[in-house]
Amino acid sequence: MLILRPGEAALPDLERLWREGLPARLDPSAAPLIATSARRVEEAARGAAAVYGVNTGFGKLASVRIAAEDTETLQRNLILSHCAGVGEPMDRATVRLMMALKLLSLGRGASGVRPGTVALLEAMLERDVIPRVPLQGSVGASGDLAPLAHMTAVMIGEGETLDGLTGAEALRRAGLSPVRLGPKEGLALINGTQFSTACALAALWEGERLALASAVTAALSTDAIMGSDAPFAEEIHALRGHPGQIRVAAILRGLLAGSAIRDSHREGDRRVQDPYCIRCQPQVTGAALDLLAHAGRTLEIEANAVTDNPLVLEEGIVSGGNFHAEPVAFAADLIALALAEIGAIAQRRVALMVDPTLSFDLPPFLTPEPGLNSGFMIAEVTTAALMSENKHLAHPCSTDSTPTSANQEDHVSMAAHGAVRLGRMVRNLSVILGVEALCAAQGIGFRAPLRTSARLEAVVARLREAVPPLGPDRPVAPDLEAAAALIRDGSLIRAAGLTSTGDLA
């Protein structure tokens, strides 16, 4: 059980929840704040003053006053009408993360949700009642309304779960009862950035893993083409000072240490300088790591934020704009840039290895019988296609906006679109790196009897458990998928002796 402390949740803990499927609940210290804000909303609902979302309509209908006896119907109708998402469903792990982020937001005691409603959300996580949430339908302001409405629909016994059950049936089987929404509760549950933030966080964590994997595949490629390790010298990167660059150079030095391939031509190497895709690996991948770190800091703040509206403050219930997901949109765009550039330079290393004019005597397309066999010719084309697709997907989403809700919501963030597209980019990048690993392992095989470093030999051995060397031509699509899977699950990182933080184990 992961105990969430509102305002203090750390990304490593949330990543564990996402990867391991941990149940989660709020720290008991949050209970008094939750109860106090709920009382204030109940008092407002009984009062004479109009309070947005409590006894009024929503959005452009905020001027319509709702009678006290209709407040429950108001909240229920809000959820039903906002279940307008379309497209493929969000994956189970990221829905669970979204639910945990909603708990963190409600736990700050500024949303007016009753303790029993919070307890139901906790119980759904613990008993694996996971709503089916379509990926399309949010513009990232006023919050992720449609996706969060699909989550909330299950809480009231409507909607559908990922297991294909109705909300009512799923709750019944789990020994739970639907909640009858009190004043403002429906609005608090659907008004927020938790969908966009969860999708962006999932891509961030995958991106960090892929960045480390790219250092491993890059080290393999460097040895495959008998490249120089001189550009990775510590002093070069210290003189510039960027932390990501320094970190990647250190990883490359560690992975290549003891390589007989490199030692065999350290003296008298006829090449003065390698192409940029070899020589500038620390500068490019390191810059991407720094971008990911910056995005992570933004998303950690957002994960702990209260982003619904209106907010229950000491001075009253006040309308604001915390639901606007511009910070998440910017973070998603940064992640997209990092993913695209990691893939772009990796693709150039693949192209380098299959080109006999540049690969330092490797056979054309890395096949032992070029001409009769095409080897990795079209696998390289696949990486070019995926690299190009990621470049297009990296176009910023945060600069787009379109007015919605009769111009009441006249500037939106597009954070949901920006965060959802990252999943496709992660998938594309994992295949590019998988192809690079296969090409580099094949190239290192051609250097026998010279051997690469012990760490990189371990990586090749792990890869060969899943994919044999390429001899005569065969369908390579299964090989590409198998290698990409090893990239995504961290197998090659672990084989290289790297920890999850990228330090040498």
Q: Please give the chain's pLDDT, 505 residues, in tens.
A: 999 999 999 999 999 999 999 999 999 999 999 999 999 999 888 888 888 878 887 777 777 888 877 888 989 999 999 999 999 999 999 999 999 999 999 999 999 999 999 999 999 999 999 999 999 999 988 889 999 999 999 999 999 999 999 999 999 999 999 999 999 999 999 999 999 999 999 999 999 999 999 999 999 999 999 999 999 999 999 999 999 999 999 999 999 999 999 887 665 555 668 999 999 999 999 999 999 999 999 999 999 999 999 999 998 999 999 999 999 999 999 999 999 999 999 999 999 999 988 878 899 999 999 999 999 999 999 999 999 999 999 999 999 988 888 777 788 899 999 999 999 999 999 999 999 999 999 999 999 999 999 999 999 999 999 999 999 999 999 999 999 999 999 999 999 999 866 665 5
Q: 205 and 186, same structural domain?
A: no
Pairing of strands 86-89, 311-313: unpaired
- Both 170 and 89 in a single domain? yes
pLDDT in tens, 13-25: 999 999 999 999 9
Same domain, 188 and 203: no
Tell me, yes or no, whether 111 and 29 share the same domain.
yes
Helix (H) or strand (E) holding 87: strand 86-89
| 455, 420: one domain | yes
In this structure, what CATH number is given to the domain that contains residue 443? 1.20.200.10
Decide if 295 is inside a domain.
Answer: yes
Q: Please tell me the pTM assigned to this model.
A: 0.95
Determine contact, residues 192/140, Cβ cutoff 8 Å. no
Say whether both 207 and 183 belong to one domain: no
As given in the structure block, the two tokens for residue 301 are 């703040």
Whether residues 145 and 222 fall in one domain: no
Asked if residue 405 is part of any domain, the answer here is no
User: Is 277 domain-assigned?
Assistant: yes
Cα(402)–Cα(411) distance, rounded to whole angstroms? Answer: 6
Nearest residue to 81 via CA among 198, 159, 194: 159
Residue 316, domain member (yes or no): no
Distance in angstroms (rounded) separating the CA atoms of residues 151 and 134: 10
Same domain, 183 and 208: no
* Rounded CA separation 106/76 (Å): 19
Q: Which residues of 346-385 are buried (b: 16+ CB within 10 A; e: fewer)?
A: bbbbbbbbbeeeebbebbbbbbeeeeebebbbebbebbee
* Cβ-Cβ contacts under 8 Å for 422 (sequence gap 6 or more): 199, 200, 202, 203, 207, 332, 335, 336, 339
Task: Indicate whether 394 and 444 sit together in one domain.
Answer: yes
Assess if residue 129 is contained within a domain.
Answer: yes
Report CA torsion sign: 391, 481, 293, 345: negative
Which domain does 224 fall in, by range? Answer: 199-307+323-400+412-495
Catalytic residue annotation? 52
CB atoms within 10 A of CB 237: 23
User: Which residues have a Cβ under 8 Å from the Cβ of 274 and sit 6 or more positions away?
Assistant: 222, 225, 227, 228, 231
Q: Is residue 504 part of a domain?
A: no
- Look at residue 412 and give its three-state secondary structure: coil
Q: Are 30 and 6 in contact (CB under 8 A)?
A: yes
3: its two tokens: 């105990």
Minimal CA–CA distance to 207: which of 398, 479, 351, 390?
A: 390
Is there a domain that residue 138 lies in? Answer: yes
148 and 105, same domain (yes or no): yes
Among 164, 192, 220, give the residue marking a domain's end. Answer: 192
Residues 173 and 250 in one domain: no
Tally of domains within the chain = 2
Of 152, 171, 192, the residue that ends a domain is 192
Which CATH number characterizes residue 22's domain? 1.10.275.10
The answer to whether 43 and 22 have CB atoms below 8 angstroms apart is no
CA 271 to chain centroid, in Å, comes to 40
Residue 502 lies in a domain: no
* Chain segment 329-373, per-residue pLDDT in tens: 999 999 999 999 999 999 999 999 999 888 788 999 999 999 999
Tell me: do 138 and 242 sit in the same domain. no
Q: Which of 192, 208, 225 is the last residue of a domain?
A: 192
The answer, yes or no, to whether the previous bond of 469 is cis (omega within 30 of 0) is: no
